[in-house]
Chain A
Amino acid sequence: MSLPIADPAARISSFNPVAKLAATMVMTLTLLLSIDPVSAGVMLAFVLAALPFTGLGARMLWLRTWPLLIAAVLGAAATVLYGRPSGDSYLQWGLVQVTDGSLQLALAILLRVLAIALPAVVLLSTTDPTDLADGLSQLVRLPARFVLGALAGLRLVGLLIEDWRELSRARRARGVADRGRLRRFAGQSFALFVLAIRRGTKLATAMEARGFGASGARTWARPSVLRPRDAVLVLIAAAAATASATVALAAGAWTFVWAL
């Protein structure tokens, strides 16, 4: 099992992975600069409007995104309680201060988490890691040894998850699965590392035996090409980012994170 790709048949999956990565980065970096409900809200609206065009099924989307909702709610809840205080205060107890300001910030945080993570999840979960590696090496010109070495290691995730379940069952068979969950987690993680390193060492030998890492030019069996549609994607992402920033600035809501 390699990393599960959400839906290879969806339209979004056929875009060049490097373009998708660039689009994600553009949107994320813009949103990271400010914590305000307007920029996040505009971006979120944009993303939700674009979702039908990606060709992803609703169930697939839900499966991938429900942890985001939980995280967003939690983050917002913490902010309500401890957010930077300003305006009227509604509750005060120890370090807890629920104020106008903290409520506003909580809304901003809620929208921000969703706006940042949602496009990333959609774009990146529809990317095949091998295609991404091809793109990064051929187009962005990252060193092939590292990109491919990482890709090969990445393929082991599926095996490691299987290993983890075997390790859990082994502990049940050895009589130690009833209590001490934290200790067991630590011990099991360690065993996972040992297995992972052993596999990796063997894999490295196999890769070297196939000529990997030797000097000399490398060719590419799968060309990574940028098409006009990829440029369009990046432009749309840039437009969304600019729009959300502009609207927030115009509304006076934009606040740089460090100036909060």
Chain B
Amino acid sequence: MTGPRPAAVTASGWGWRHAGRRRWAVRNLDLSVPPGQRVLLLGASGAGKSTLMRGMAGVLGDQEDGEQTGSLLVDGRPPAQVRGRAGLVLQDPDAQVVLARVGDDVAFGCENLGVPRDEIWRRVDASLDAVGLQVARSHPSSQLSGGQKQRLALAGVLAMRPGLLLLDEPTANLDPEGAVEVRDAVLAAAGEATLVVVEHRVELWAAFMDRVIVLGEDGLIADGAPTEVFGRLAEELGAAGVWVPGAAAWRSPRPHATREAAPLLAAEGLAVGRRAAGSRMPRIVASGISLTVAEGRALAVTGPNGAGKSTLAMTLAGLLEPAAGRLRATGPLSAGLGPEPARWRSRQLLTRIGMVFQEPEHQLLTGRVRDELAVGPRALGLDDAAIAERVDPLLERLRLGRLAAVNPFTLSGGEKRRLTVAAALATRPRVLVLDEPTYGQDARTWRELADLIDEVRYAGTAVVFVTHDRELVDALADDCLPIGGMRVPEASR
């Protein structure tokens, strides 16, 4: 496959303000990227990295969407006029799949650019090959893992033969294996095209990039070779949430409970699965699980994607029925109810097992942050004074105080996550289950969440967290249960 001509990007005094906002998303940007260079773009959240990427791809929109000052040119022309020269890969694997079959999805870009039919399918096969996606053209695009979907998006972009490859946090929502797959696919397939990558997990890319630029409130605040920029600005970057390579790992500062802690939930030979719509039997994803959830101890459930971690988490939280085996709550937890959490009523779950979902937006119920925290206490029948007594300290502790009247959907990713954790804690459950708490988070929010979970554990709550984040496991877990395949060992340290 002959490579496309690499593109050059030049920005002079470029700024963009989204319609209806007062603040400029990007301002005073002067930048020149020569053809073929590989650039890593960093900056604090809200610094405008995504806006810049979309600007270079030409998808920011016209006057209806915002206003522009200065100029941003790709190959000397406005990006919107040279669609197809720039290819953009976004963060969310599900949001980029356009068509239902893999081959069709990759062909989509070529169709839009008016490529002749035979050439389209040649490019499709070549692109799928280049990203290492070994599936048939008619494979359903929804039945791919996250890493595969990102590679599919990459293939779709590569089929357009772009000279400029833009990747906006391509591995943020993936597990470590998927992240490495995508990184390798990009490096193998990019060829000589100009490459601009936005990424928190810098060590994955730093060795392969020529240049690092850091975007700030008013233009660039750093621009140079990777080692130089990381050396000089390690602290600022760390504070901005970038995972600076070589920074010290966070460890839990609080003492850990002993093994004799009181058990609250016990599973024996448990098998978990979900029922597909319309079928009677659940499809078992993991079986033979035996574990104990004990007061003041943190249990980490690990394993590759699709191994059944989320299903296990929901089963432990009483939201799914066990497919086989037993899950029993001990006396102190069930406190007068039957031993099976799946049989408890919704209100009874509140003070016993709290669950924080992987996607915070699934759990947002109200129009204001304060009301969101009050949902649980209100369902318990507490009066206003008692509710305030629970909600106010949580608002303060989680730094959500000044957001108390804001609509929860408008919060940033990290704030939404803190909110859903706080909402689960408002009813003081004795067990807290968290599904991928650090998914897609930058370094700063990661530290906050890890600290919060540790504090909750230290206060006596039993914590179960499902994750593929090795650092979180190393930092927090007392016990670890790996899941993958059908037979699993007993939980152990």
Say if the two chains contact directly (CB < 8 Å): yes
A contacts, CB < 8 Å to B? 1-2, 128-130, 151-152, 155, 158-159, 161, 163, 165-167, 169-178, 187, 191, 194-195, 198-199, 202-203, 205-214, 216-223
Nearest Cβ in chain B — how far from A190, in angstroms? 10
State whether A176 and B379 are in contact (beta carbons under 8 Å apart), knowing that A170-B357, A171-B346, A187-B365 are contacts in the complex: yes
Sample of 27 A–B contacts (CB below 8 Å): A130-B101, A155-B98, A158-B142, A173-B363, A174-B365, A175-B346, A175-B427, A176-B346, A178-B345, A191-B361, A191-B364, A199-B94, A203-B95, A203-B98, A205-B59, A209-B59, A209-B86, A210-B87, A210-B109, A211-B112, A214-B83, A218-B111, A218-B112, A219-B117, A221-B110, A221-B117, A223-B117
Q: Point out the residues of chain B lying under 8 angstroms from A198, CB to CB.
A: 361
Which one of B222-230, B347-355, B439-447 is at the A interface?
B347-355
**Once the chains are docked, how many angstroms separate the CA of A194 from the CA of B112?**
29
Instruction: List which B297-328 residues lie within 8 A (CB) of chain A.
Output: 314, 317-320
**Once the chains are docked, how many angstroms separate the CA of A159 from the CA of B149?**
14
Q: Point out the residues of chain B lying under 8 angstroms from A212, CB to CB.
A: 108, 112
Q: Point out the residues of chain B lying under 8 angstroms from A216, CB to CB.
A: 113-114
| Interface flag for B116 (CB, 8 Å) | yes
**Once the chains are docked, how many angstroms separate the CA of A218 from the CA of B109?**
10
Q: Point out the residues of chain B lying under 8 angstroms from A159, CB to CB.
A: 94, 142
Asked whether A210 lies within 8 Å of B156 as measured between CB atoms, the reply is yes
Q: Point out the residues of chain B lying under 8 angstroms from A203, CB to CB.
A: 95-96, 98
Mark each residue of chain B from 71 to 113: 1 if its CB lies under 8 Å from any CB of chain A, else 0.
Answer: 0000000001001101110101011111111001001111111
**Once the chains are docked, how many angstroms separate the CA of A171 from the CA of B380?**
14
| Interface flag for B243 (CB, 8 Å) | no
**Once the chains are docked, how many angstroms separate the CA of A232 from the CA of B185?**
48
Asked whether B361 lies within 8 Å of A175 as measured between CB atoms, the reply is no
Q: Point out the residues of chain A lying under 8 angstroms from B112, CB to CB.
A: 210-214, 218
Q: Point out the residues of chain B lying under 8 angstroms from A206, CB to CB.
A: 88, 90, 95-96, 98, 153
**Once the chains are docked, how many angstroms separate the CA of A167 from the CA of B96?**
22
Set B140, B346, B359: member contacting A166, Cβ < 8 A: B359
Query: Which chain A residue lies CB-closest to B138?
Result: A8
Asked whether A202 lies within 8 Å of B92 as measured between CB atoms, the reply is yes
Set A173, A191, A213, A218: member contacting B114, Cβ < 8 A: A218
**Once the chains are docked, how many angstroms separate the CA of A194 from the CA of B140?**
26
Query: Which chain A residue lies CB-closest to B376?
Result: A175
Asked whether A161 lies within 8 Å of B277 as measured between CB atoms, the reply is yes
Asked whether A175 lies within 8 Å of B117 as measured between CB atoms, the reply is no
- Using C-beta atoms within 8 Å of the partner chain, give the interface range for chain B: 35 or more
Q: Point out the residues of chain A lying under 8 angstroms from B355, CB to CB.
A: 173
Query: Which chain A residue lies CB-closest to B116?
Result: A219
Asked whether B160 lies within 8 Å of A210 as measured between CB atoms, the reply is yes
Asked whether B99 lies within 8 Å of A209 as measured between CB atoms, the reply is no
| Interface flag for B22 (CB, 8 Å) | no
Asked whether B346 lies within 8 Å of A221 as measured between CB atoms, the reply is no
State whether A219 and B88 are in contact (beta carbons under 8 Å apart), knowing that A210-B109, A210-B157 are contacts in the complex: no
Q: Which of A2, A159, A195, A198 has the most CB of B within 10 A?
A: A2
Nearest Cβ in chain B — how far from A27, in angstroms? 28
Nearest Cβ in chain A — how far from B387, in angstroms? 13
Set A158, A177, A210: member contacting B108, Cβ < 8 A: A210
Set A158, A191, A221: member contacting B104, Cβ < 8 A: A221
**Once the chains are docked, how many angstroms separate the CA of A191 from the CA of B380?**
23
Mark each residue of chain B from 145 to 161: 1 if its CB lies under 8 Å from any CB of chain A, else 0.
Answer: 00000000100110010
| Interface flag for B397 (CB, 8 Å) | no
**Once the chains are docked, how many angstroms separate the CA of A129 from the CA of B375?**
41
Asked whether A210 lies within 8 Å of B98 as measured between CB atoms, the reply is yes
Instruction: List which B146-190 residues lie within 8 A (CB) of chain A.
Output: 153, 156-157, 160
Set A155, A167, A221: member contacting B97, Cβ < 8 A: A155
| Interface flag for B458 (CB, 8 Å) | no
Asked whether B111 lies within 8 Å of A155 as measured between CB atoms, the reply is no
Asked whether B100 lies within 8 Å of A205 as measured between CB atoms, the reply is no
Q: Point out the residues of chain B lying under 8 angstroms from A178, CB to CB.
A: 345-347
Asked whether A211 lies within 8 Å of B109 as measured between CB atoms, the reply is yes
| Interface flag for B403 (CB, 8 Å) | no
The 6 A-B pairs with the shortest beta carbon distances in the complex, nearest first, are: A211-B112, A202-B95, A175-B379, A210-B109, A177-B346, A209-B88
Q: Point out the residues of chain B lying under 8 angstroms from A211, CB to CB.
A: 83-84, 109, 112-113, 160
Set A158, A169, A213, A219: member contacting B111, Cβ < 8 A: A219
Asked whether A173 lies within 8 Å of B317 as measured between CB atoms, the reply is yes
Q: Point out the residues of chain B lying under 8 angstroms from A170, CB to CB.
A: 357, 362-363
Query: Which chain B residue lies CB-closest to A188?
Result: B365
Query: Which chain A residue lies CB-closest to B353?
Result: A173
Query: Which chain A residue lies CB-closest to B317?
Result: A173
Set A152, A165, A177, A187: member contacting B99, Cβ < 8 A: A152
